[in-house]
Amino acid sequence: MKQVVFASAMLLGAAICSAQGPGDFTPAETNVWGAEYPRLDATGRVEIRIKAPDAAKARVNFWSGPKVDLQKQADGTWTVVTPPLVPGLHYYTVVVDGAEFADPGSQAFFGGGRHASAVEVPEPGADYYGIKDVPHGQVREVWYASKPTGGWRHALVYLPPGYDTSTRTRYPVLYLQHGGGEDETGWIRQGRANFILDNLIAAGKAKPTIVVMAYGYARRAGAPAASGPSTAAADPEARRRVMQEMASTFQADMTEALIPFVDATFRTIADREHRAMAGLSMGGFQTFQITLNRLDLFSHIGGFSGAGGLNGRALDPKVDFNGVFADPKAFAKKVRLLWLGIGTAEPERMREGIRSLHKALTDAGVDHVYYESPGTDHEWQTWRRDLHDFVPRLFH
Amino acid sequence: MKQVVFASAMLLGAAICSAQGPGDFTPAETNVWGAEYPRLDATGRVEIRIKAPDAAKARVNFWSGPKVDLQKQADGTWTVVTPPLVPGLHYYTVVVDGAEFADPGSQAFFGGGRHASAVEVPEPGADYYGIKDVPHGQVREVWYASKPTGGWRHALVYLPPGYDTSTRTRYPVLYLQHGGGEDETGWIRQGRANFILDNLIAAGKAKPTIVVMAYGYARRAGAPAASGPSTAAADPEARRRVMQEMASTFQADMTEALIPFVDATFRTIADREHRAMAGLSMGGFQTFQITLNRLDLFSHIGGFSGAGGLNGRALDPKVDFNGVFADPKAFAKKVRLLWLGIGTAEPERMREGIRSLHKALTDAGVDHVYYESPGTDHEWQTWRRDLHDFVPRLFH
């Protein structure tokens, strides 16, 4: 997406869709410039084409979608048309004779601990995450020194429109975390968080807010190099242990290095009332761990398709999270927003986790927002909608 | 490079090298976190390992280096150790049964019109392009509206340390372009231009300067979609035509959209005396086309392994580039710096192009700087050195 034709990319997508019939395929907007494949039709079917003249077998693997064999063509390419995919950004890889790779026709999106491919299926009429002719914030790359991890760490920071010119204005901050196997670029590249914020702010629906997107994997200074993102995908119990240890290290990094850096570097309102945290999937788990441990630092909390980290058991509001939910009135005074979301097409295990948390909080009388994204899976369309619902509720 | 251990990555590389003997392999610093391969030893040999259990053949293709077959192992992986590679960042792809892909163990670097893999071979003792404990500038992502191309375009902008706090200071600007098949991210991801500038500025060797990195491919508004980066790799004549048309459109984009946007958005010194342009390979060609057409806008010019665009013939200083070289004294008054560079290990055709331009300029009495990077090819180590030599000469 190095160049986008005028009119929002989303509106354009919608326009193509209405002009297109089924079977009229056009290149996906997530392609590298000039790549004809992958391409899609108005029904959301995706045609994949891979050059693999000497291969015996080729498959496409949509991580939350079809896994289908490609058919060899006379010219040495392999092709397939998938069943219709729902709107949103769909990660995929291709598998050629057992080797799993990214499709060179697609932009690279960091997911699953690697640079994966993805195809964007436009949602007709949904322009809230497209670039529009409104004032644009800027995303900055920063490097900050982190003693807890013993290294320089990279983060992205969205600064709202007007930040450079309103030089006496200070802003609230949302810390916004990616999911497992992703990195700090996910919310911009995949999620288009910058355009979602630009559009909400331009419409007067959200307060101008700084959004900090950090790298959610962290290893204690001096710890062995074993536990990286790729090990996190192992068995559930190992995964939970790795995530717990990472959440602890990431909490130290965030509270001792990142937040002080952000407050020293940008014109923030540096108090708990003006600091929020949210995250998707693993990032939601980290958000609950960190914010509920440090309510002295945070007042707004969001869990997008991931929150409690209770490993399948029900929340005990008297005990869990140091008992912060034991006194709902005291909690409501401290936490201005507690927000949970899930896509209705997510795997049962994930839906059950969020729904049971929602129920336990409701039963305990803990005020919170619960949002279901209709028809979307454990994918970025769910999390774009989550962010779009979450941000307008912040900092009132 | 989401997290870098303290001490510059380069120094670390050097430290590993001195501790390592040949045959002690460690993961490349360009790997995704947790990936054990590719890995390299102290002599610059690279070990590649790809999982491809059902493949009949696998090769690694270093674009400016060895192209070697991998050997199948009992566990379904394929491996090879290359001959020693010189220091620098080396693009590569892997070819499995005829399908050419990026290595999932490597970070993705946009080159060759796709997200390619690369391995960084540290240069012992060279720390000028590593992150150090000095004040860091910030790289910003901006989207600007471009009437010439009829779209929103994405650019990266490096703002020097202190930009946010010295709110009355205005800065000179360097427009810095990537090469053919690359994009606006190249100078940061591959070139580490931000660290080069940070270190030069901290050492007092360069003036604090804004660096703008734009996407060098541009298509006129309404033009057919045919000519993208991927078509530019076709036969030399077609390539020259595509590049010429793109340079013309990119010139319009740059002079009518990008420069006005940058001058309106950032605290620039918005005159020709404080505006430079440089580029590598195709970006050098574009730099010469644009700056020599518009000396009303630029006063400092750099061509890194690409400059004249004269298609193999000798420069005629009386005629070429509207005759700007015809009067060397007048030219020297207008152009404060004309800089040419080439790696001594680049292909003969490329060396010949720059050397003959150097000779023609010398013969014509046109003052300029000519730099040869010892032992480096048409690769990023040449261009890092070029930038490191070029920037201190700007804006005196």
Q: What is the pLDDT of residues A217-269, one digit of tens each?
A: 998 888 766 555 555 455 777 777 777 788 789 999 999 999 999 999 999 99
A168 in the same domain as A29: no
A171-222: per-residue pLDDT in tens?
999 999 999 999 999 999 999 999 999 999 999 999 999 999 999 999 888 8
Distances (CA, A) of B358 to A390, B315, B323, B362: 60, 9, 17, 6
* Non-local CB neighbours of A32 within 8 Å, separated by 6+ positions: A104, A105, A106, A107, B110, B113, B114, B115, B229, B230
Q: What is the DSSP string of B83-99?
A: PPPPSEEEEEEEEETTE
**CATH number of the domain that residue B154 is part of:** 3.40.50.1820
Q: B55, A98: Cβ pair inside 8 Å?
A: yes
C-alpha distance from B312 to closest chain A C-alpha (Å): 28
Final residue of a domain: which of A121, A153, A178? Answer: A121
Residues A94 and A196 in one domain: no
Cβ contact B137:B194 at 8 Å: yes
Is A340 among the domain residues?
yes
Residues in chain B closer than 8 A to A197 (CB atoms): none
Q: Is residue A337 part of a domain?
A: yes
- Residue B164: burial class (beta carbons within 10 Å; 0-12, 13-18, 19+): middle
pLDDT digits (tens, 9 = 90+) for A147-156: 999 999 999 9
Q: Among B73, B115, B227, which would you mutate to test the A interface (most chain A Cβ atoms within 10 Å of its Cβ)?
A: B115
The pLDDT score that the predictor gives to residue B18 is 43
ipTM of the complex: 0.92
Pairing assessment for the beta strands A275-280 and A300-304 based on DSSP bridges: parallel
> Which pLDDT score is estimated for A9?
42
Residues A103 and A195 in one domain: no
Tell me the chain A residues in contact with residue B63 when contact means C-beta distances shorter than 8 Å: none
User: What is the residue range of A369's domain?
Assistant: 138-393
Looking at B62, B87, B121, the residue that finishes a domain is B121
Mean pLDDT over the full length of chain A = 92
- Same domain for B232 and B319, yes or no, is yes
Pair (A205, A252) in one structural domain: yes
Q: Find the closest chain B residue to A133 by CA distance.
A: B145
Residue of B nearest to A137 (CA): B142
Are residues A29 and A166 part of one domain? no
Assess whether A179 and A66 both reside in one domain: no
Q: State how far residue A158 is from chain B, nearest Cα, in angstroms.
A: 9
Structural domain count, chain A: 2
Judging contacts by C-beta atoms under 8 Å, the chain B residues touching residue A266 are 164
Q: Are β-strands B275-280 and B173-177 bridged in parallel, bridged antiparallel, or unpaired?
A: parallel
Return the CATH number at B105: 2.60.40.10
Nearest by CB to residue A34, choosing from B143, B218, B231, is B231
Together in a domain, A350 and A240: yes
Distance from CA of A168 to the nearest CA of B (A): 11
User: Is A219 in the same domain as A153?
Assistant: yes
- Among partner residues B98, B143, B146, which is closest to A55 by beta-carbon distance? B98
A171 inside domain:
yes
Domain shared by A101 and A172, yes or no: no
**Cβ <8 Å between A2 and B231:** no
Q: What is the pLDDT of residue B396?
A: 92
Asked if residue B349 and residue B251 are part of one domain, the reply reads yes
Chain A closest CA to B310's CA: distance in Å?
27
Answer whether A217 sits within 8 Å of B5, measured CB to CB: no
**Whole-angstrom Cα distance, residue B117 to residue B93?**
6
Give the pair of three-digit tokens for residue B123.
């240069």
More confident residue, A353 or A10: A353
Residue B288 · residue B278 · CB < 8 Å: no
CA distance B34 to chain A (A): 5
State the Cα–Cα distance between residues B289 and B218, nearest whole angstrom. Answer: 15
Burial of A330 (0-12, 13-18, 19+ CB in 10 A): exposed
Please give the C-alpha separations between residue A338 and each of A100, A161, A304, A341, A381, in angstroms, as whole numbers.
40, 27, 11, 10, 21
Say yes or no: A157 and A205 in one domain.
yes
Residue A34: its chain B contacts at CB < 8 A?
Answer: 113, 228-231
Domain boundary among A62, A90, A121: A121
A149 contacts on B by Cβ (under 8 Å):
3
Task: State CA B40 to chain mean position distance.
Answer: 23
* pLDDT tens-place string over residues A288-318: 999 999 999 999 999 999 987 777 788 999 9
Query: Cα-atom radius of gyration of chain B, to the nearest Å?
Result: 21
The pLDDT assigned to B12 comes to: 39
Residue B17, phi then psi, degrees to nearest 5:
-60, -45
- Whether A51 is in a domain gets the answer yes
Nearest to A149 among B3, B145, B183 (CB): B3
Per-residue pLDDT, averaged over A125-131, amounts to 97
CB–CB of B9/B1 below 8 Å? yes
pLDDT of residue A238: 78
Min Cα–Cα distance to chain A from B352, Å: 31
pLDDT, mean of each 10-residue run, chain B (396 residues): 58 42 87 96 97 97 97 97 97 97 97 97 96 97 96 97 95 97 97 98 98 94 64 66 81 97 98 98 94 97 89 87 95 97 96 94 97 97 98 97
